[in-house]
Structure 1
Amino acid sequence: MREIVLDTETTGLDPAAGHRLVEIGCVELVNHLATGQAYHVYINPERDMPEEAFKVHGLSEEFLRDQPLFNLVAADFLEFIQDSPLVIHNAEFDMKFLNWELKALGHPVIPRDRAIDTVVMARRRFPGSPANLDALCRRFGIDNTARTKHGALLDAELLAEVYLELIGGREPGLALGAAAKKDETVQAAPRERVVRAPRPHAPSEEELAAHAEFIAQLKNPLWQIE
């Protein structure tokens, strides 16, 4: 089962107000485990970077000015995610921006039901507790010390670990993703066979006499009717 853990960074909160995507990070999962395949791109938003957004992700207008426009990366992005389910933290936000950009280019939008929202999962499992990514990393003992600012690829990698814990975590003792080598065979240790003398099953004289006495008490047994 293939899934894509996805995160984005933007210039603000609402694409309808002129805000744009500036970063996309994706991590591929197969059977809930990271495969090492990832997609990451910075995007030129063709606008200024508000100070509030810069404080969140640290991506400046000057840095993004040399990055590709979304129309140049859209095809590669869609090819990477294919039709796989998308694991997103606060999916409504990221899906809103992705679909705004895709629709502007004439691409079909991504159906909302393709998204698995880990915020919803966390709130159902831990009602009343913080559901942000940092809080969930602390809860599950996931090292997020490298996360000094938001970054789409790093956040996607952390979210992949959080998602695994939210769905139950690794079962102890299971070698997930490991396959035995073809040239390795396991042989059971030989067991010494113990030979025992056959047990006698013939009735004794006492048992025969007791049986005859019991039979004599029966009235007209079938095997004695002529």
Structure 2
Amino acid sequence: MRQIIMDTETTGLDPRDGHRIVEIAGVEMVNRKLTGNHLHLYLNPDRDSDPEALQIHGLTTEFLSQYPRFAQVANEMLEFVQGAEIIIHNASFDVRFLDSELEKAGLEKFSTYCDSITDSLLYARELHPGKRNSLDALCERYGISNAHRTLHGALLDSELLADVWLAMTRGQDALIMDFDEQDDHDNPGIALQRFDPSVLKAVQISEQDLQAHAHYLAQLEKENKKPTLWQEWGH
């Protein structure tokens, strides 16, 4: 199963007011494992961002002027998402902008090119009714550090959302499918079994690994000017 966790940044709130996408990013996950393959594009919107939007993403008109326009990289984006399930937080917002940009480029709607679109915000609301379900709130709920998120960025937000999505749906990992060997080979039965963690091989951590981990945490604490959640929880 191939999934792409995506995010966009825009010049404002509504494409009908002439607002455009300024950044697109996505990270690839196959069988619930991040592959390291990702898409990250800055775009020249040919207009200024609203002050409120600029405060959120910090991408100035001058900075974006050096990058291509959406139509020039549309095929690269579509090739990346082709046939995958797309996971977006508050998907209706991003898809509305993607559809608008694709229409300007003479292309079909975004949903035409992917297998399906899943809104992680709607999923979170069903899972946690009556609670805050913004990306920051979900990071806090699931113990995912977002201390380095001083501004919204499409790639960073995609990476955070991937971690959140895996945490929200981790119950799916508790079941595995197995074939009953006694069934007829032409009509195998499928049994659902609870995962037994005792079958996992224990890996001993070396002193060198512990020192490298401590050095990494110290660097994070220095950059963020506060301890990591790992340190606060006493690990």
TM-score (norm 1): 0.74
Give 1:109's aligned residue.
Answer: 109
Once the two structures are TM-superposed, the CA of residue 111 in structure 1 deviates from its matched residue by 2.4
The one-letter amino acid paired with 1:162 is V
Q: Secondary structure at the match of 1:46?
A: coil
Structure with bigger strand share is 2
Once the two structures are TM-superposed, the CA of residue 79 in structure 1 deviates from its matched residue by 0.6
Give 1:198's aligned residue.
Answer: none
Once the two structures are TM-superposed, the CA of residue 100 in structure 1 deviates from its matched residue by 0.6
Give 2:97's aligned residue.
Answer: 97
Cα-to-partner distance string for 1:83-127 (whole Å, 9 max, x where unaligned): 211000000000000011011111111228821101001100110
C-alpha distance in structure 2 between counterparts of 1:71 and 1:163, whole Å? 30
C-alpha distance in structure 2 between counterparts of 1:67 and 1:105, whole Å? 17
Is the 2:23–2:43 contact (alpha carbons within 8 Å) kept by the matching residues of 1?
yes
The one-letter amino acid paired with 2:146 is N
Q: Following superposition of structure 1 onto structure 2, how do residues 127-206 of structure 1 map, counting pairs within 5 Å?
A: 127-168=129-170, 173=197
More relative contact order, 1 or 2 (CA 8 Å, 6+ apart): 1
Answer yes or no: is 1:74 the counterpart of 2:74: yes
Once the two structures are TM-superposed, the CA of residue 168 in structure 1 deviates from its matched residue by 2.1
> Structure 1: which 5+ runs fail to align?
176-226
RMSD: 1.6
Q: Secondary structure at the match of 2:75?
A: helix
Query: How many residues are matched?
Result: 175
Give 1:86's aligned residue.
Answer: 86
C-alpha distance in structure 1 between counterparts of 2:140 and 2:162, whole Å? 14
Is the 2:10–2:49 contact (alpha carbons within 8 Å) kept by the matching residues of 1?
no
Give 1:205's aligned residue.
Answer: none
The one-letter amino acid paired with 1:17 is D
C-alpha distance in structure 1 between counterparts of 2:127 and 2:86, whole Å? 20
Q: Give the share of equivalent positions with the same residue, in percent.
A: 50
C-alpha distance in structure 1 between counterparts of 2:5 and 2:145, whole Å? 18
Once the two structures are TM-superposed, the CA of residue 140 in structure 1 deviates from its matched residue by 0.3
Give 1:31's aligned residue.
Answer: 31
Once the two structures are TM-superposed, the CA of residue 14 in structure 1 deviates from its matched residue by 0.4
The one-letter amino acid paired with 1:47 is R
Once the two structures are TM-superposed, the CA of residue 51 in structure 1 deviates from its matched residue by 1.1
Give 1:120's aligned residue.
Answer: 122
Q: Secondary structure at the match of 1:111?
A: helix
C-alpha distance in structure 1 between counterparts of 2:70 and 2:155, whole Å? 17
Structure with bigger helix share is 2
The one-letter amino acid paired with 1:166 is M
The one-letter amino acid paired with 1:136 is L
Once the two structures are TM-superposed, the CA of residue 146 in structure 1 deviates from its matched residue by 1.1
Cα-to-partner distance string for 1:24-69 (whole Å, 9 max, x where unaligned): 0100010122110000010000011221111000101110111111
